[in-house]
Amino acid sequence: MKKILSLILTLTLVLGLAAFAGAEEYTMKVTAPAGAPALALAALAVEAPENYSFVAADTIAAAFAANEADFVIAPLNAGARLYKAGKSTYKMAAVVCWGNLYFASQKADFQLSDLNGAALTLFGEGTVNASIALYVLEKNGIVPASVAYLAGAADTQKLLLTDESAIVLTAEPALTAASMNNDKVSGIALNDLYKEATGYEGFTQAALFVRAETAQAHPEEVNAYLEKVAESCAKCESDLNAVAEAAVALEILPKVPVALKAIPGCAIRFVAAKEAKEQVEITAGIDLSQYGGDVPADDFYYGE
């Protein structure tokens, strides 16, 4: 009898240890573009940098194709287009970046009226950023004399610093870096014009996407991680110093003084998929071609 009881206790212990081992916390692997959207993760990533990959923005589509990261931060329209085309299983979990674009110039007392009848230089012809910039100008009654395009924000940044009369589209944190190098540089937030046009605080620029397989296999862990990301985003306002230091440690931003000044202009805010859906559709409606020809279907939103 004692041998039987001993065997039962041994089996119970073995099964218990196995269950404990099986309950080991699942570690999320995350990929994000270096720059403004990555600030949403900075306070979180600095605690376990080995689980985070910060890559060049123009390579982020490869993260969807690889289908390895549990979460990916990317331009919302890119994630929506790939999902619609059946080239991605990633669903939108939350919008985390609400627009970091600015019109900028070295002109003295630079203001909105300076854009009317002016030669403007935007970056990314045929991209969603250009579409939104042109939309807000039109809705605010601004008619430029001409609109030219350069390839990227780095190009308009160079023009901004070398041509005192230029008016360009740029982005944070590049605008802050430019203004700290040249105190003549100032900017007008595209988000201010967007609010005048739509009534909303910012457009749905970058989102956090969750891999469908991860969401299905680890729903509790996914929801717990989303809560952590929400807290990380909130720290961009509530604990700016900590986020700035984390961003520099992770090489998302170059220097703490730049980070401290730039982060508030990056519009980092966590809004879960279901709550952001209406605003996603408003932003998508500005240029549906950027979203694959239609607003995202319901199954694109995690939690629907």
Q: Give the residue from 151, 173, 198 where a domain finishes.
A: 198
pLDDT digits (tens, 9 = 90+) for 197-248: 999 999 999 999 999 999 999 999 999 999 999 999 999 999 999 999 999 9
18 inside domain: no
Q: Give the residue from 165, 198, 231 where a domain finishes.
A: 198
117 inside domain: yes
pLDDT digits (tens, 9 = 90+) for 253-292: 999 999 999 999 999 999 999 999 999 999 999 999 999 9
Domain count, the chain: 2
16 inside domain: no
Q: Percent of the chain, pLDDT > 70?
A: 92
pLDDT digits (tens, 9 = 90+) for 41-73: 999 999 999 999 999 888 888 999 999 999 999
Per the structure, the complete domain to which residue 37 belongs is given by 30-93+210-300
Q: Are residues 86 and 34 in the same domain?
A: yes
Copy the structure tokens of residue 42. Answer: 């900075």
pTM reported for the whole predicted model: 0.90
Closest CA relative to residue 100, chosen from 123, 81, 83, 119: 123
- Cβ atoms within 10 Å, residue 251: 11
Q: How far apart are the C-alpha atoms of 290 and 127, rounded to whole Å? A: 7
The CATH number that applies at residue 178 is: 3.40.190.10
Q: How far apart are the C-alpha atoms of 88 and 209, rounded to whole Å? A: 10
Angle in degrees, CA 304, 284, 235, rounded to 5: 70
10 inside domain: no
Is the model's pLDDT at 121 over the cut of 80? yes
Q: Are residues 186 and 269 in the same domain?
A: no
Q: How far apart are the C-alpha atoms of 119 and 146, rounded to whole Å? A: 5
Q: Are residues 219 and 264 in the same domain?
A: yes
- Residue 23: which pLDDT band, with cuts at 50, 70 and 90? very low
17 inside domain: no
- Strands across the sheet containing 90-97: 52-55, 30-33, 71-75, 206-211, 90-97, 268-272
